[in-house]
């Protein structure tokens, strides 16, 4: 086994820096079949994501799914790819830059290093941890940007961190933020985003809260994700003082034939016009950055379903991305988890 060593304290007697890793799901390196195959294989091989006996799943994945889905997914990714590359990675890098600036302002420069990693694909968790080691970073805060805890996202990220650190001879101090769906600054940021939309466009007939789905059996086995999504919707509703008939929680991105969390976003949108709900706005509180699932599935594909069914107005409210309120929320979470050496600094910071 290869052990990765850590550097001693700095020669000038100063304590090692703290490192912050914000993580997201991941993205292929390019909108091409080969890159998609590599990315999908890593993603769909995760037992947290697909809970099927490994031998059976190996044959299904490698002989059926990857050959068929890699090429199809590449075509879809091309529709959202920009000059800056993957939207998810580009936005995450912007979040890093903004959060680093915020941290420097509040805690002083060269004290905390902010970086990002993807659970699947690049930049990898392994590469960022190695970079932190080389910088003598001994305190690490990991912030997966999934507000509502789910074993397939937050839990899987913890697995990946632990898998790397098991090879370290000197394991750094680690704080893992497993979710923040009740965090007041998160609810406030979502409410402000929706309020800004309503101020500009008016209140729709229905505000649809669409979250990424998971197989129903994961809920039955004890995953709290569904409950956390419902709680988030309710808190935002209360913050905005919206009536029950003005909102609805749905779940998108299902895959395969088994039941997933319901109601399904696409089926709900298809049914709304016949109920005389002709003006809809969709928001995705479970996504911290716009990506394929929001830019193509929600903004394009689901809009077509709604309009073809007789809808008259459909809008997608973008993710929080690198909005100031979102960055402030991230800083709040980080500040709460700073090691003791930052107590005097953080206690004097202004919100």
Strands (E), the chain: 17-27, 112-121, 137-144, 173-176, 206-212, 247-252, 279-283, 313-317
**Dihedral angle of Cα 38, 26, 232, 247, to the nearest 10 degrees:** -70
Domains 17-28+86-179+324-347 and 184-317 share a fold: yes
CA distances from 102 to 113, 142, 165, 321, 331 (A): 11, 17, 28, 15, 7
- CA 252 from chain centre, in angstroms, equals 15
| Widest CA span in the chain | 72
Give the model confidence (pLDDT) of 255-275 as tens digits: 888 999 999 999 999 999 999
Structure tokens at 322: 């690198």
CATH class of 184-317: alpha beta
The answer to whether 197 and 211 are in contact (CB under 8 A) is: no
Strands laid side by side in the 313-317 sheet: 247-252, 206-212, 279-283, 313-317
**Banded model confidence at residue 339, pLDDT cuts 50, 70, 90:** confident
The yes-or-no verdict on residue 318 having pLDDT over 90 is: yes
Locate the domains of the chain by residue range.
17-28+86-179+324-347, 184-317
Q: What is the mean pLDDT of residues 197-221?
A: 97
Distance CA 71, CA 76 (A): 9
The yes-or-no verdict on residue 10 having pLDDT over 60 is: no
Q: Does domain 17-28+86-179+324-347 bear CATH number 3.90.1280.10? A: no
Give the model confidence (pLDDT) of 129-151 as tens digits: 999 999 999 999 999 999 999 99
**Banded model confidence at residue 277, pLDDT cuts 50, 70, 90:** very high
Give the closest residue to 23 by CA, choosing from 113, 112, 128. Answer: 128
Q: What is the mean pLDDT of residues 327-341?
A: 91
Specify the pLDDT at position 2: 40
Give the model confidence (pLDDT) of 13-71 as tens digits: 466 689 999 999 999 999 999 999 999 999 999 999 999 999 999 999 999 999 999 99
Confidence (pTM): 0.92
The yes-or-no verdict on residue 187 having pLDDT over 60 is: yes
Specify the pLDDT at position 17: 87
Give the closest residue to 331 by CA, choosing from 132, 163, 104. Answer: 104
Specify the pLDDT at position 270: 98
Give the model confidence (pLDDT) of 152-165 as tens digits: 999 999 999 999 99
- What contacts 76, CB < 8 A, 6 or more positions away? 292, 296
Which of 4-8, 91-95, 204-208, 316-320 is predicted with the least confidence, judged by mean pLDDT?
4-8
């Amino acid at each position: 086994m290869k052990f990765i060593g850590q550097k001693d304290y700095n020669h000038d007697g100063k304590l090692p820096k703290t490192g912050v890793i914000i993580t997201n799901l991941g993205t292929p390196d390019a909108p091409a079949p080969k890159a998609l195959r590599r990315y999908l294989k890593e993603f769909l091989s995760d037992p947290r994501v697909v809970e099927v006996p490994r031998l059976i799943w190996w044959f299904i994945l490698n002989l059926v799914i990857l050959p068929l889905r890699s090429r199809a997914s590449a075509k879809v990714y091309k529709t959202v790819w920009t000059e800056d590359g993957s939207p998810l990675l580009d936005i995450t890098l912007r979040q890093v830059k903004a959060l680093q600036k915020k941290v420097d302002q509040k805690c002083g420069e060269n004290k905390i290093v902010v970086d990002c990693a993807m659970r699947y694909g690049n930049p990898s968790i392994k590469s960022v941890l190695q970079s932190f080691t080389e910088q003598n970073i001994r305190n690490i805060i990991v912030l997966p940007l999934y507000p509502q805890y789910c074993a397939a996202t937050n839990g899987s990220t913890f697995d990946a961190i632990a898998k790397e650190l098991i090879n370290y001879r000197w394991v750094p101090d680690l704080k893992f933020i497993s979710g923040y769906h009740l965090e007041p600054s998160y609810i406030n940021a979502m409410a402000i985003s929706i309020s800004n939309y309503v101020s500009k466009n008016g209140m729709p007939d229905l505000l649809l809260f669409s979250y990424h789905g998971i197989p129903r059996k994961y809920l039955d086995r004890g995953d709290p994700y569904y409950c956390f999504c419902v709680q988030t919707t309710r808190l935002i509703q209360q913050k905005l003082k919206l009536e029950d008939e003005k909102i609805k929680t749905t779940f998108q991105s299902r895959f395969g034939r088994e039941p997933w969390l319901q109601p399904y976003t696409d089926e709900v949108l298809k049914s709304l016009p016949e109920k005389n709900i002709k003006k809809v706005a969709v928001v995705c509180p479970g996504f911290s950055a716009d990506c394929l699932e929001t830019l193509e599935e929600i903004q394009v594909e689901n809009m077509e379903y709604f309009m073809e069914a007789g809808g008259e107005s459909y809008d997608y409210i973008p993710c929080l991305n690198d909005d100031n309120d979102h960055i402030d929320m991230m800083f709040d979470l980080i500040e709460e988890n700073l090691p003791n050496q930052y107590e005097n600094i953080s206690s004097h910071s202004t919100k």
